[in-house]
Amino acid sequence: MTKRRASALKRTARTALRREPSPSKPAAGIAEAGPAALADAFDQRFKANLARMTSGVSPAGMFAVYANWIAHLTLAPGKRVQLARQAAVSAAALSHYALRAAFDTQIPPLIEPSAGDKRFADEAWRRWPFNVTMQSFLLTQDWWANASSGIDGLAPEDARAVSFLVRQALDRAAPSNFLATNPVILEATIEERGANLARGAQHVAEDASRMLAGDPPVGAERFIVGRDVAVAPGKVVYRNHLIELLQYAPSTATVHAEPVLIVPAWIMKYYVLDLSPHNSLVKHLVDQGHTVFMVSWRNPDEKDRDLGLDDYRSLGIGAALEAVGKLAPGRKVHAAGYCLGGTLLAIEAAAMAGRGDDRLASLSLLAAQTDFTEAGELTLFMRESEVAYLEALMRGQGYLSGRQMAGAFQMLRSNDLVWSRLVHDYMLGRRFEMTDFMAWNADVTRMPARMHAEYLRKLYLNNDLAAGRYMVDGSPVRLADIRIPIFAVGTERDHVAPWRSVYKITFCAAETDVTFLLASGGHNTGIVAAPGDPRASYKVRKTSADERYVDPSAWQEAAPRVEGSWWLQWHSWLAAHSTTRVEAHDRTSLPTSLGDAPGIYVLQR
């Protein structure tokens, strides 16, 4: 064990001791202490079992939100009168529309679906009586949107939480989800004489069987890690309990002197950045003359329950930087972090800056948040009740599974990820063709209980990093200490790390140059946007350290749109912040190699 690791373990032990509650009086006997401990253990077990049934969402937190909303609505008689009037006007308008629509197929709708709502896109929804059903649902949806907002005294976060819960209920009850009220399903059922429903039943049975057995979804067998995906040639050049470090073989005669170290999120397998050869970010960087290292995180289990966020920083990023330094001595490193990996990388970069460690040449943050005050709908229920609820769940099993996390992410886009799939796969009896992206998305990981609890409390709940309270080695880190150039990427339709939240790095790290790029697409599809993708576009603008802060709306309006992949822009930025090119050395043949990429950690289930 190294001195640095031993010191870190001592600090962890001291921190754990400090966290133990100090009794205000001498400990009582077993007769007094026993029942309290037993009651606490019972409560923890009860909440853990309940959390498994509610996908980790705290009923107490939801009840508190509803109760707060009802209490404030009760104290707003004017708002209630307005809602009653809206209901009456909508009912009268709908009745008139229903009578006219039965005889006039060209009657204009009372209300149109919101942008992006594809549930009612088919022309069959314009025919009576389905157009009446659709209009009734949309008017109801509009009424509830008004009922859950604009209430005097109701905190904005509570209003957003109520709106979210109402939307979940409405999405579940939408007429598009039922055979009798969905004309598209009815037509398919009549045309196929029910064969679509028979196929759908087979799909239900097949998917349920695979889920219970822990097997990947249908078609995922076409995308085997190391054979079809994650195939960029390279070697495992370092391994510890938490990470494998992959180094990729050069494909050019000369390379940029400064290597690129990529730190992906541990909530997912790293190979989203090395999918198929045509959409591999790793391959693209290597082909542009960069020496690329990639962190591959171990998939933890119940034995790793006590691994903390600082372990991920030291055994992950810290160990990777040391290994890269030995393989490329004297070279600074372009460090890039994706999602949670980017957040932790920003913490390490700030800590390094604070202690005068200048090993980094630049910092790239891909869909990574550093200030969590506007972290999107994931934070709506991230309160003490919810965190304690999740802690009870994780304490029992030692980790949070990827499937449990997937439930929370699916709630954010229930229309696209839940109900539309139910209609397509189980009612229409069809299957979407499996893609490398879909296969990767089903290759879930776990997160240690302690690490995830610390992540939720310190970052989401308390926002310690942006507030300057996040501690590394006993000292608070400050993002403003970072002086190396930063390249930050947000994506337009990101439900996990909203781009306006990602953009806050331009404020938090105001003492250095920040190039912010806004890519089209979502959290994953926006990042994996290879050259040649016809849907890819982006906006980019550099903010120098001596410029005044520009708010995200003004930035979005001022930055011109560029068609194409943002990967090209990033490569140019990396090249501009590199010193020179040197002869490429094939380090994949080093005697220190621990095996071929993609390694063994990525294969862990």
Same domain, 254 and 125: no
**Contact between 261 and 282 (Cβ < 8 Å):** no
277-287 burial, b at 16+ Cβ within 10 Å, e below that, comes to: eebbbbbbbbe
Please tell me whether residues 343 and 480 are part of one structural domain: yes
Total domains in the fold of the chain? 2
504: left (phi over 0), alpha (psi -120 to 50) or beta: alpha
Whole-number pLDDT of residue 8: 39
Same domain, yes or no: 166 and 314: no
Note the pLDDT of residue 592. Answer: 64
Give the per-residue pLDDT at 408: 65
CB–CB of 314/304 below 8 Å? Answer: no
Residues 238 and 166 in one domain: no
Residues 6+ apart with CB under 8 A from 28: none
* Residue 1 within a domain: no
Taking the C-alpha atoms of residue 296 and residue 294, their distance in angstroms, rounded to an integer, is 6
Q: How far is CA 152 from CA 63, 78, 83, 164, 381, in A?
A: 20, 10, 14, 19, 21
Question: How far, in Å, CA of 382 to CA of 461, rounded?
Answer: 6
Judge whether 339 counts as a catalytic residue.
yes
* Residues 364, 289 within the same domain: yes
- From the list 243, 339, 428, 505, the catalytic residue is 339
d(CA 179, CA 165): 24
Contact status, residue 443 vs residue 269, Cβ threshold 8 Å: yes
What is the model's pLDDT at position 55? 62
What local confidence, expressed as pLDDT, does residue 22 receive?
Answer: 36
Range of the domain at 253: 234-373+463-603
Please indicate, yes or no, whether residues 148 and 284 belong to a single structural domain of this protein. no
Same domain, 239 and 157: no
- Euclidean distance between CA atoms 521 and 96, whole angstroms: 41
List of the chain residues with pLDDT < 70: 1-33, 52-56, 381, 406-417, 586-592
C-alpha 456: how far from chain center: 13
What do you get for the CA distance between the two ends of the chain, in Å?
Answer: 28
pTM of the model: 0.88
Res 16: pLDDT: 37
Question: H or E stretch including 525?
Answer: none
In a domain, 54, yes or no: no
Residue 238 and residue 342 in one domain = yes
Same domain, 366 and 509: yes
pLDDT of residue 224: 96
Last residue of a domain, one of 175, 193, 221: 175
Specify whether 171 is located in the same domain as 305.
no
For residue 73, give both structure tokens. 């609505």
DSSP-derived secondary structure letter, 227: T
Is position 192 within any domain? Answer: no
Q: Indicate whether 533 belongs to any domain.
A: yes
Within-domain flag for 446: no
Q: Does residue 435 sit within a domain?
A: no
